Amino acid sequence: MPDETTRPAPTRTPTGAGPRGALVAGSVGNLIEWYEFGVYGYFATIIAATFFTPDGGGDAEALIKTYASFALAFFFRPIGAALFGRVGDRIGRRPTLILVILLMTAATTLIGLLPSYATLGAAAPWLLTLLRAVQGLSAGGEFGGAVSIMAEFAPAGRRGLYGAWQSFTVALGLLTGAGTAALLATVLSEEQLGAWGWRVPFLLTLPMGLAALWLRLRLAETPAFREIERVTESAPAAVAAPASFSADPADPADSAVGDGAASPRTADVVKAILLGAGRIMGWAAAGYTFLVVMPSYLQTTLNATFQQALVATVLANLGFAASIIPAGLLSDRLGRRAVMTSGAVLVAVLAFPLLNLLQDPGASTPAKGLSVFAAGAVVGLMAGPGPAMLAEMFPTRARYTGLGLAYALSNAVFSGCAGLIITELIEDTGNVDIPAYYAVVTCALSVPALLTLRGDDHRRALRN
> In the structure, what pLDDT confidence band is assigned to residue 103 with cuts at 50, 70 and 90?
very high
> In the structure, what pLDDT confidence band is assigned to residue 213 with cuts at 50, 70 and 90?
very high
DSSP 394: S
Mean pLDDT, range 117-139, rounded to an integer? 87
* pLDDT score for 257: 40
DSSP 360: -
* Residue 80 domain-assigned (yes or no): yes
Are residues 185 and 63 in contact, defined by beta-carbon separation less than 8 angstroms?
A: no
* pLDDT score for 8: 41
Cα–Cα distance between 270 and 273 in angstroms, integer?
Answer: 5
Mean pLDDT, range 302-327, rounded to an integer? 87
Long-range contacts, 125-133 (Cβ 8 Å, 24+): 125/51, 125/52, 125/65, 125/69, 128/47, 128/51, 128/69, 129/69, 129/72, 131/107, 132/69, 132/70, 132/72, 132/73, 132/76, 132/107, 133/72, 133/73, 133/76
* pLDDT score for 58: 54
DSSP lists the bridge partners of residue 264 as 243
- 11-25, 132-146, 215-229: range with lowest mean pLDDT: 11-25
Mean pLDDT, range 93-112, rounded to an integer? 92
* Residue 3 domain-assigned (yes or no): no
Q: Which of 17-26, 48-57, 326-335 has the highest mean pLDDT?
A: 326-335
* pLDDT score for 185: 83
pLDDT at 306 over 80: no
| pLDDT tens per residue across span 4-17 | 444 444 444 444 45
Q: Which one has a higher pLDDT value, 1 or 134?
A: 134
* Residue 10 domain-assigned (yes or no): no
Total count of domains within the chain: 1
pLDDT at 174 over 60: yes
* Residue 399 domain-assigned (yes or no): yes
Q: Which one has a higher pLDDT value, 262 or 300?
A: 300
pLDDT at 91 over 80: yes
A 10 A CB-CB count for 217 gives 12
> In the structure, what pLDDT confidence band is assigned to residue 60 with cuts at 50, 70 and 90?
low
* Residue 238 domain-assigned (yes or no): no
| Reported pTM | 0.82
CATH of the domain at 115: 1.20.1250.20
| pLDDT tens per residue across span 429-442 | 989 999 999 999 99
| pLDDT tens per residue across span 281-296 | 999 999 988 887 877 7
Mean pLDDT, range 402-411, rounded to an integer? 92
* Residue 12 domain-assigned (yes or no): no
| pLDDT tens per residue across span 327-363 | 999 999 999 999 999 999 999 999 999 999 888 888 8
* Residue 419 domain-assigned (yes or no): yes
Cα–Cα distance between 429 and 421 in angstroms, integer?
Answer: 12
* Residue 133 domain boundaries: 19-222+243-459
Residue of 282, 296, 313 whose CA lies nearest to 438: 282
Q: What is the mean pLDDT of the chain?
A: 83
Residue of 26, 29, 248 whose CA lies nearest to 147: 26
* Residue 372 domain-assigned (yes or no): yes
Are residues 250 and 139 in contact, defined by beta-carbon separation less than 8 angstroms?
A: no
* pLDDT score for 434: 92
* pLDDT score for 211: 92
Mean pLDDT, range 113-126, rounded to an integer? 86
